[in-house]
Structure 1
Amino acid sequence: MSGALRISGAGRLSQAKTARFSFDGQSYTGIEGDTLASALLANGVHLVGRSFKYHRPRGILSAGAEEPNALVQIVRDDARKTPNVR
């Protein structure tokens, strides 16, 4: 479903270079230069987490560091992990 929710021919990113990534155990494809949020939204992912206390669904609300649901852990390989990246 890579890019199914993108507007064709629009935007500043070149769709020639793609990047593969995984989120919550699922594999996705994004465009080089995408943010994690825009790549997830383009792949139809709207639920990115749940609240701690009541387990309510959390989605993407903004496009910057002020995003309240934007804590992720980046794993490059088994030896390099970066937790709580905004």
Structure 2
Amino acid sequence: MEALQNQIKQLIIDALNLEDITVDDIETDAPLFGEGLGLDSIDALELGLAIKKTFNIVIDADDTNTREHFASVANLANYISSQTSH
């Protein structure tokens, strides 16, 4: 799971052009939005597209669980893992 989490962290950095941030700077359990990494809704869209392209998983923006999936790297890793293990 740690490898997937690091892959997601790198995906966040690449997708959002976060040049001053490294994988080590992103805490696995820290919030991605607001207080944590400080991402916004535009970042969420970009990240959703990157996840779709990388993992072939479509994240439904209208799904009530989507906010929870995007809450942290740990949540995203769990969600992606659950979607790809079918």
Pick the TM interval, shorter chain.
under 0.3
Tell me which structure has the larger Cα radius of gyration: 1
Q: Give the alignment's TM-score, normalised by structure 1.
A: 0.27
Q: Whose RCO is larger (CA < 8 A, sep 6+)? A: 2
More strand by share: 1
Higher relative helix content: 2
